[in-house]
Amino acid sequence: MKPEIIDTSALTREDYWKYFQKIIFRADGGTTMATLGWIFFWFDHIPYHVIHTHFLTGFIFLGALFLGLAGVHIMIRTRNRLGTSADRILHLVKISYTLISSISGILAYIAFPPH
């Protein structure tokens, strides 16, 4: 099923800001979660560590992956026409980081399980 393309120029002001808020949340939230996932991953690989976060690490990487995919979905549906050109580039960079970081984090979590 092909996602419906949204014409951003035909959106009402409220709808435009609703989609813009969603893309901001997914880009910023995904970046934050992916970074937090890597921090937790490395906490679990410190010898004789006191803080055990291995039960959260996988879920945080999966959450970041979900937010990144949801951000890509909105970018595809709106043809990345939300905000200024600087906003578009920033959201693209953040969502790309989220996807790459979460996928590599999941792979690293599987390849190098916590001890």
Terminal C-alpha separation, the chain: 43
CA–CA dist 27, 112 (Å, integer): 27
What residues make up the domain containing 18?
A: 10-111
Q: Is residue 4 part of a domain?
A: no
Provide the domain count of the chain.
1
In a domain, 62, yes or no: yes
- Give 28's contacts (C-beta < 8 A, 6+ positions apart): 94
Largest CA distance in the chain: 58
Model pLDDT, residue 2: 65
Task: Summarize pLDDT for 17-74 with one digit per residue, the tens.
Answer: 999 999 999 999 999 999 999 999 999 988 888 888 888 999 999 999 999 999 999 9
